[in-house]
Amino acid sequence: LIQRFQVEPNELARERPYIEYNIQFTREAFALNRIEEQPFPAEKAPTPEDIAQNEVTTNNIRLWDHRPLKDTYNQLQSFRLYYDFNDVDVDRYTIDGEYRQVMLSARELSAEKLTEQAQTWVNRQLQFTHGYGITLSPVNEVSAEGLPMLMVKDIPPVGVFNIERPEIYFGEKTNNYVIVKTKTEEFDYPRGDENVYGHYEGKAGVSLQGFIRRLVYAWQFGDFNILISGELTPESQVLYYRNIR
């Protein structure tokens, strides 16, 4: 009743003192009340001396926009319909002794893009468990054809870095659970008309050893196959919190 008949008709006047208290103590808590303001006369154009003194910065000015670059990565480097570059990020690495700003994206696997015939439980949960590799290019270089200068590319990845474990089990599109260390070989990447397979070598994952554990996860995911599948072993593990965003 107090809120309805006293506060709401004069909301700003009633709440102003408390808003001011909130602002005041927030400023004091973060020492914002001790900030000293000084004028900064920024010039419109840098001088040659400014450019020379900030060569590392000017040599890494970003020219590429992440949106068209993502489309370009997908056109040039996805290779198969079930691979997808979900987003392009900006990062910095030392390359050939020089600190470089680069743009990169992970080649993730989208199980929903498998063909209709391939949409089986074994494929989605046991075999197509991970993406593979990345694509990386400098922020400020363009080829004669108007394309990014790829510093890391292809499957398996080649380039300026030696990527020892290119498998991507955790990413931005990894929303489904998978089971690793099973009797089913995991798909790594295509090589010509054949496929290369492997097994999970990471440390994450929850053991599915024993009937009770399998029963619990079968109930959690609403998936009876976890309980009855003959592909699971005592070493099998389930990965389910895989989206890193």
pLDDT digits over 152-163, tens only?
A: 999 999 999 999
Percentage of residues of the chain with pLDDT beyond 90 = 78
| DSSP code of residue 63 | -
Residue with tokens 């696997």: 109
Q: Could you give the CA distance from residue 130 to residue 205 in angstroms, rounded to a whole number?
A: 14
| Residue 81 predicted with pLDDT over 90 | yes
- Across the range 72-85, mean pLDDT stands at 96
**Distance (Å) of CA 231 to CA 70, 99, 185, 238:** 37, 47, 10, 13
144 C-beta neighbours (distance < 10 Å), count: 5
Helices (H) and strands (E) in the chain, counts: 8, 13
| Residue 101 predicted with pLDDT over 90 | yes
| Residue 165 predicted with pLDDT over 80 | yes
User: How sure is the predictor about 198, in pLDDT bands with cuts at 50, 70 and 90?
Assistant: very high
In tens, the pLDDT along 57-77 reads 888 999 999 999 999 999 999
36-40, 41-45, 118-122, range with greatest mean pLDDT: 118-122
Mean pLDDT of all residues belonging to the chain: 92
User: How sure is the predictor about 5, in pLDDT bands with cuts at 50, 70 and 90?
Assistant: low
| Residue 1 predicted with pLDDT over 70 | no
